């Protein structure tokens, strides 16, 4: 009986060591930014790959977010061809390589955002309601 426990514990420790090895984990870093948005024309906020965690801004400023994709052969993302979508600024938003999130506002507003790099694959997230 004690042999089984010892084998189980050593297997568990071995798996934990492998799972926590830095070479197997993605390196993540937090990005934070602040920008003044003063135009109804969309402008680039962040490019992927990144997970946008939240954006804080005055909700009365009519802020809209849109997603743009890097066009084939282009060097930069053009927010002029971006498509608006209903991101609330509070839930996690995965932005893939070659995608950008653009922002526009009905009046001048300061926007503060927080994102994380090193995200392997998009995952569903669910936020608690307050």
Strand 93-95 relative to strand 43-47: parallel, antiparallel, unpaired? Answer: unpaired
CA dihedral 69, 72, 75, 80 (to 10 degrees): -40
The one-digit pLDDT tens for each residue of the chain (130 residues) are 555 444 444 444 444 444 444 444 556 799 999 999 998 999 999 999 999 999 999 999 999 999 999 988 889 999 998 999 999 999 999 999 999 999 999 999 999 999 999 765 445 455 545 4
Measured distance CA(88)–CA(81) in Å, rounded: 21
**pLDDT reported for residue 118:** 77
Give a yes or no: residue 57 inside a domain. Answer: yes
Number of domains in the chain: 1
Cα–chain center distance at 130: 22
The pTM for the full model equals 0.70
Tokens of 6: 């010892």
Q: Give me the pLDDT at residue 7, please.
A: 44
pLDDT computed for residue 55 by the predictor: 96
In a domain, 122, yes or no: no
* Residue 70 lies inside a defined structural domain of this protein: yes
The answer to whether residue 76 is domain-embedded is: yes
Quote the pLDDT of residue 16. Answer: 46
> What CATH number corresponds to the domain at position 79?
2.60.120.10
Residue 15, in any domain of the structure: no
């Amino acid at each position: 009986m004690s042999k089984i426990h010892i084998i189980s514990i050593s297997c568990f420790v071995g798996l934990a060591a492998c799972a926590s090895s830095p070479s197997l984990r993605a390196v993540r870093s937090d990005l934070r930014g602040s920008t003044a948005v003063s135009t109804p024309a969309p402008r680039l906020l962040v490019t992927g790959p990144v997970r946008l965690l939240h954006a804080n801004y005055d909700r009365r400023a009519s802020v809209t977010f849109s997603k743009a994709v890097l066009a084939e052969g282009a060097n930069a993302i053009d927010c002029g061809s971006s498509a608006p979508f209903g991101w609330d600024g509070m839930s996690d938003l995965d932005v893939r390589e070659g995608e950008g999130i653009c922002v526009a506002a009905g009046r001048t507003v300061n926007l503060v955002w927080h994102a994380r790099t090193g995200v392997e694959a998009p995952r569903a997230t669910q936020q608690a309601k307050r």
